[in-house]
Homo-oligomer: A and B are copies of this chain.
């Protein structure tokens, strides 16, 4: 019983992700009938149907969903295994899966871009996958192995992960040109404004909730660009990293609401798994990240 033979699982995953056999042809580079055979063989080996398909639409069965999750996992493990053994050859190879949060390219001291330059200026066979997600999803990814390295503001540290501080980011409160506070006097700005105005926050930050009477945020965003859009609308106050907001402050579309109690700092860390025979590609990339510090 070998489910990993003949790329049965790769076919299965491709079919799931493409939502059907016909579309998966192009991804897999084989004919539709070959895919049909592979799924048939897989189901034959498993003894149950993994998906319903046909003109009536594509859908995973209950067992199929579980099988798909596990298949993705073992495929990643096997990829990493291949890479580990190939790296014994001397050349570094394989997938390198890196995760970051959004809106960091302009963050001063964020080491990704120079690290990429460094890393890929040496000849290698590494395939990069760069994922943008929330710190929490990134943490999950590191733990499950779907990510090798993540760079983000991690607040709670996990035992099984290793953290290296790389830089920090300052956040301030901003409002848009159309907002009533845009033209107010400086001495009107106090933490009190949070109670009188709608505020938008990044779901994972919630850094506004500093004092007890912090208001329910009126809008939750998962992404800086979304926050900027809400702020620019003039209907929301919002917290942005200064390096990001500065472009609109310059053009007069936003105003910094300056007050000592309305500033926050996040510490950015490189995180990766402890206690695991790290692959060379991973180690080298971390080295590349740290090189400029």
Chain B nearest CB, measured from A88 CB (Å) = 5
Say yes or no: A82 contacts B48, CB within 8 Å.
Answer: no
Q: Inside 8 A of A108's CB, which chain B residues have their CB?
A: none
The interface residues of chain B lying within 8 Å CB-to-CB of A74 are 77-78, 81
Known: A74-B77, A77-B74. A82 touches B47 (CB 8 A): no
Question: Does chain B have a CB within 8 A of A85?
Answer: yes
Query: Which DSSP category, helix, strand, loop or mixed, fits chain A's interface?
Result: helix
Is A164's CB within 8 Å of the partner chain B?
no
Which B residue's beta carbon lies closest to that of A63? Answer: B88
Q: Which residues in B have their C-beta under 8 angstroms from that of A3?
A: 81-82, 85
Cα A89 to Cα B81 in complex, Å, equals 28
Residues of B within 8 A of A89 (CB): 46-48
Q: Which residues of B contact A7 (CB under 8 A)?
A: 2
A81 cross-chain contacts in B, Cβ below 8 A: 3-4, 70, 73-74
Chain B nearest Cβ from A264, distance in angstroms: 34
Residues on B with C-beta less than 8 A from A30 are: none
Q: Which residues of chain B have C-beta atoms less than 8 A from A184's C-beta?
A: none
Contact with B along A69-106 (1 / 0, CB 8 A): 01101100110011011101100010000000000000
Classify chain A's interface size. 20 to 34
Query: In the complex this chain forms, how many copies of it are found?
Result: 2
Whether, in the assembled complex, A67 has its beta carbon less than 8 Å from a beta carbon of chain B, the answer is yes
Flag A35-70 by CB within 8 Å of B: 1 or 0 each. Answer: 000000000001110000000000000010011001
- A293 in the interface (beta carbon within 8 A): no
CB neighbours of A5 from chain B (8 A): 5
Q: Which of B70, B78, B85, B86 sits near A85, CB closer than 8 Å?
A: B70
User: Separation in Å of the A6 CB from the closest CB of chain B?
Assistant: 8
Alpha-carbon distance A78/B71, docked complex (angstroms): 10
Confirm or deny: A212 has a beta carbon within 8 angstroms of a beta carbon on chain B: no
Task: Flag whether A183 is at the interface (Cβ < 8 A).
Answer: no
Q: Which residues of B contact A84 (CB under 8 A)?
A: 70
8 Å CB contacts to B: which residues of A1-30?
1-5, 7
Return the chain B residue nearest A47 by Cβ.
B89
List, in ascending order, chain B residues with CB within 8 A of A66's CB.
85, 88
Minimal Cβ-Cβ distance residue in B for A67 = B85
Q: How far is the CA of A63 from the CA of B5 in the complex (A)?
A: 25
Ranked 4 nearest A-B pairs via Cβ: A47-B89, A63-B88, A74-B81, A3-B82
Q: List 5 A-B contacts (CB under 8 A).
A: A1-B86, A4-B81, A47-B89, A66-B88, A74-B81
Query: What 6 new A-B contacts, CB under 8 Å, besides A46-B85, A70-B84, A73-B81?
Result: A4-B78, A46-B88, A47-B89, A48-B89, A67-B85, A71-B85
